[in-house]
Structure formats: C-alpha cells, structure tokens
Amino acid sequence: MIISSTSENKDIEKRIAITPEITKKYINLGFQIQLIKNYGTHLGLNDSQFKDAGAKIINDEKELLNNSNIVVQLNLPKDNQHTMMKENQILIGTFNAYQNKEEIKNFSSKNINVFSLELLPRITRAQSMDILSSQANLAGYKAVIESFAYFEKAIPMMMTAAGTVPAAKVLVVGAGVAGLQAIATAKRMGAIVFATDVRMTSKEQVESLGGKFLTVEGSENLETEGGYAKEASDDFKKKQEELLAETLKKIDIVICTALIPGKKAPLIIKENMINNMQSGSIIYDLAASQGGNTSFTEADKIVNKNGVKIMGEKNVLNKLPVSASNLYAKNLFNFISNLYDKENKKININMEDEIIKNTLVK
C-alpha cells in the first residue's frame, strides 16, 4: 500500500506530514512512501534524506495523488487536487471539518474516506494520535516566547545595586494544553503567572505549575464530556468580565488561548478592559484564526490600542515548523497504525472503533 504526501501552500503552512524518521516506521509496517519533489527542502530536509529512509520522490503531483492508497496532509488539499484523486482512497489531516463541510464534500462525493484528526475523542487510547495536544503544546510555548520578545521590560525579578526590577505579571486566558504550556514557560522564565478557565478541573493543574487560578464567584464547571470547554451562561460571563477587568489593570502580558470547537472564539477581553490596561502591555491571541479572544485581534497583525500591543497570528506553528512536523508526523503514524490490519496487510475502517467513527467525515 502506498502512502503519499504533497506540498502545502507554504505561504500559510510550513509544516509537513511525513518526516524521514517516520518514513522508516511506515516502511517497517509494510507501506511504500511516495513524496512530491522538494517536499521538505524548506525545513532543511533534502530529497536525499527521504530517499535514504526508503521513500520514492515523484515529480508529477497528479501521478503522486492518483497512485496513492492513503494521502496525508496538514490542511485540505488545494482546490483542484480532489480531481487528481481516485475513488476509495483515504485522506487524513486536520481539515477543520466544521468550517469546511462544502470543501470536504468534493472528496466524499468521490467515495474518498476523509479523516479529520481534530475530531479525535479525548480517550486514553487516542492520546498518541492527539494532534490538537501536540501542536497546542508548542503553540503555548511559542506564544510566550513571542510576547516576551515584544515586551520592553525584563521578565524575572532582578535585584541590583541600582534597585529592584519587579517580575512581569502574566495572565493566561484558557488553561487547556496551550494554556498550561504557556503557564509553565512563563513561570520558568521568572514571571508571576495568573490563569483563568471556565473548566474548574483546570484549577489544580494551574496551581501545580505555580500559577494562581482566578476563580469566578459561584462559578459552574463548563466542561463537555469530551474534555472541551463549552459556552458559558450570561451570568457567568458577567462575573468573569468583572474579575478580568480588575485583574487586567495590573497585568503586563496576556496570553489568550480560549477556543470552542467548531465555533467562533469567545470574545473575552473587551474594549473597556484594554483601555484600562497599562501602556506597554502585550496581548498575544492564539485564537486569532477563529476570530480572536479580544475586540481588536487581527490575524497576522500587531494592533496598537492606547499603547497596548495586540498580536494575532493565524499559525504560530509556522515559527516552529520542524518541531511541529516531527510531532504531527508521529501522531499521523499512530493513527494509521490503528487503521491498519497487520495480519491481512490492509486498511480496516472499523466503525465500532470510537477513534475511527469520530474522525471519519461524511
């Protein structure tokens, strides 16, 4: 069976779905690997490295896609690429299935089985395939590094003969995987860290990393059975706003990570809150690709509002593409290993398997 991958639009996506290390693993399972020419050269991975690992390099994209059994990508293949694929192939990636229903129909109408891995269930068996967690971990780390680079003061407390430099105060909005990594990174660099989340189960995790959890009085636990955040009530939102507005007056750097799967990002930091923040503060919004957690977030722009810099980035992982690709490729390998019937050397789409059932997009 042939697994292939072609180039993404590198203006918006620098990650790749197969690495030389993972190529060897696929081949050991009995697969063949075919990649488009110059597949990883932008990451310093030459075609010769993939060839040495056992991959075949193909010059023609139509030939590559048409001859494959499984195609693995990051994003949905470009507009015309579904015409290059044939019936009964398998397409695997992170396709934002809620937003891209119409585009996905182009593939499913040809009986191509489309698996979108952001739909993986939050169960123990799926952890090694969990692309949201592996990528969010890196995003949380990088958001802190990027925001600290723009902050024009020292981060840790410094005691000098000339006086004391106070530690920067960081607020992390949303204590999921990205948020927890942001807390850990900021704490390691000497900041005083606060965090807030609608899921009360996050409190213990935040405090274990040295952060202070901001609790909304009379708060409800807004967590789905799958472990994701769900929409808050109007009463909760009002109380959260009051707590945030007061807290933000003394915060230097805010890292926003709050997302609701399949919906626009919740608007958490409003104009009046930003107006009361200290000039020189930074807001780094990881939710920019879904509308942002602030009133002024613009994707891939830095907005200056009364001296507060609001940074929104559609894909912060483009700044860590090698690390992100390594983890993503491993997630995909583990997912395909679960699909693969090793005894009969064929793909088994077992709809009784919760992992397969949840990720197969119709």
Question: What pairing do the DSSP bridges indicate for beta strands 212-213 and 192-196?
Answer: parallel
Report d(CA 185, CA 202) in Å as an integer: 17
Contact status, residue 283 vs residue 311, Cβ threshold 8 Å: yes
Whether residue 141 lies in the annotated active site: no
Contact status, residue 197 vs residue 171, Cβ threshold 8 Å: no
Contact status, residue 133 vs residue 140, Cβ threshold 8 Å: no
Residue pointed to by tokens 């009995």: 30
Report d(CA 85, CA 104) in Å as an integer: 13
Whether residue 81 lies in the annotated active site: no
Beta bridge partners of 56: 34
Main-chain dihedrals φ then ψ at residue 97, nearest 5 degrees? -60, -30
The crossing angle, in degrees rounded to 10, of helices 20-29 and 321-339 is 10
- Amino acid identity, residue 109? S
Residue pointed to by tokens 């707590």: 243
49, 228, 337, 353: the active-site residue: 228
**Residue 329 parent element (H or E):** helix 321-339
108, 122, 278, 353: the active-site residue: 122
Whether residue 228 lies in the annotated active site: yes
The DSSP secondary structure of 217-254, one letter per residue, reads: TT----B-TTS-B-PPPHHHHHHHHHHHHHHHTT-SEE
Beta bridge partners of 309: 282, 304
Report d(CA 327, CA 19) in Å as an integer: 10
Residues 46, 51, 55, 60: is their CA dihedral positive or negative?
positive
Q: Could you tell me the CA-to-CA distances from 109 to 83, 104, 193, 205, 361 in Å, in that order?
A: 11, 9, 49, 44, 12
99, 127, 208, 233: the active-site residue: 127
Q: Could you tell me the CA-to-CA distances from 31 to 28, 265, 277 in Å, in that order?
A: 7, 40, 56
73, 130, 219, 289: the active-site residue: 130
5, 133, 135, 205: the active-site residue: 133
Whether residue 133 lies in the annotated active site: yes
- Amino acid identity, residue 278? Q
Report d(CA 138, CA 123) in Å as an integer: 21
Residues forming the active site: 122, 127, 130, 133, 228
